[in-house]
Structure 1
């Protein structure tokens, strides 16, 4: 059964029912970065002197602090890709050994003995090696309208989610008070290649409705009156008084 296109308003949204969309208006060719391969780097790093390892980093200790009281939290995580080395493998074709050089930076806030919040800047330099990564070279050569040749259509992209799992103020070997942090992060490494894809399309996205206006302030007593009555007691998680007969039958069969 065909869907009446006139009654359908194309817009971004969740497709939660099959057979409710009309046939597309056209097939269009778009140029987008397509992911050819990806892998996950998961690290939990603590401070340790010496060379960096998969579990430690020598830059996770702050400079000496003046009268620190306690660690608060960390913020403004930033990932910067410094360089990528791609070493072709003989077999299979298109696979490469990838060497990544990147930095992770963030600020850690702490409270001093005078009750003031201060910040310490951290930046760690990391190197990771992906032994086998499908990263094929583009078969075509591209150029722009300005006559500039695009030498490499192949892109290595990093996406990160990071957090400080623990922060501790302690004394170092020189009896100076420092902040040691434990950094946990996930990095998804993607190999992207600029390609042309043929996709179904309905039309250009419609102009959204006006929704950028400021919300009027609601009277707190009116909001209180509309709010549901809260629960007075927490949920109970108790064991049943009597055994489940289904479970007892299964036990007897065993």
Structure 2
């Protein structure tokens, strides 16, 4: 078996003529996505109104602390059963049409989903650990007000990833170029035009001795 230096040389061969770098990175060992839907998330309307629903602002979903469990699957080497609950917080924005002037009202809520899936998590040493991370994209499918409550139908795309921190050899083109200078937005300067005006006459004109003529 070649030693470590020989392995490094072998790894470089496909990139002959191109510079390479070793980096520490989060490698995605496995990923999958699913769709989730909650047809009736209920939020109590505040006093006042009537209200008009405007939009909903979603935050990134996250795995609820204490809910993640990973257990090997018998008969499927390097696969594990991954179970957890993830939560997507959101804020629904309403307009109070009775207020003068009309004002916006925020209703905070969240929606939870349970996951029980099989994922590729290869066998490794005790010192190497994998992380389970998620990404979410959420949207409102329907919004209606019924009997003093805002009822939201929420659809969520969730991507689940198995992440491991590893050392990778990559083709490198050096450090990223310096960014462009930010374009600053300056408020209108009321003095800008004045600073370019020519000097005006300070005193009334003198009499030149010319005869006065009737207009």
Corresponding residue of 1:18:
none
Corresponding residue of 1:236:
none
Number of matched pairs:
168
SS at 1:212 equivalent: coil
Q: How does 1:215-226 map to 2 (within 5 A)?
A: none
For residues 17 and 132 of structure 2, the distance between their equivalents in structure 1, rounded to whole angstroms, comes to: 33
1:63 to 2:44 alignment: yes
Corresponding residue of 2:110:
123
Listed one character per residue, the Cα deviations across residues 88-128 of structure 1 (whole Å, up to 9, x for unaligned) are 11222110011021211100011224132111111122211
Corresponding residue of 1:187:
158
Flag the 1:205–1:24 CA change in 2: closer, same or farther, 3 A.
farther
Q: How does 1:28-177 map to 2 (within 5 A)?
A: 28-47=21-40, 60-66=41-47, 67-82=49-64, 83-114=67-98, 115-130=102-117, 132-139=118-125, 141=127, 153-171=129-147, 177=148
TM-score by length of 2: 0.70
Q: How does 1:1-20 map to 2 (within 5 A)?
A: none
For residues 186 and 170 of structure 1, the distance between their equivalents in structure 2, rounded to whole angstroms, comes to: 27
For residues 61 and 24 of structure 1, the distance between their equivalents in structure 2, rounded to whole angstroms, comes to: 61
Flag the 1:161–1:203 CA change in 2: closer, same or farther, 3 A.
same
Q: Moved runs in structure 1, 4+ residues, more than 4 A? A: 22-25, 215-218
Q: Which has the higher contact order (CA 8 A, sep 6+)?
A: 2
Listed one character per residue, the Cα deviations across residues 11-69 of structure 1 (whole Å, up to 9, x for unaligned) are xxxxxxxxxxx97542222121111111112022211xxxxxxxxxxxx1012432332
For residues 195 and 24 of structure 1, the distance between their equivalents in structure 2, rounded to whole angstroms, comes to: 25
For residues 140 and 85 of structure 1, the distance between their equivalents in structure 2, rounded to whole angstroms, comes to: 17
Corresponding residue of 1:205:
176
SS at 2:183 equivalent: coil
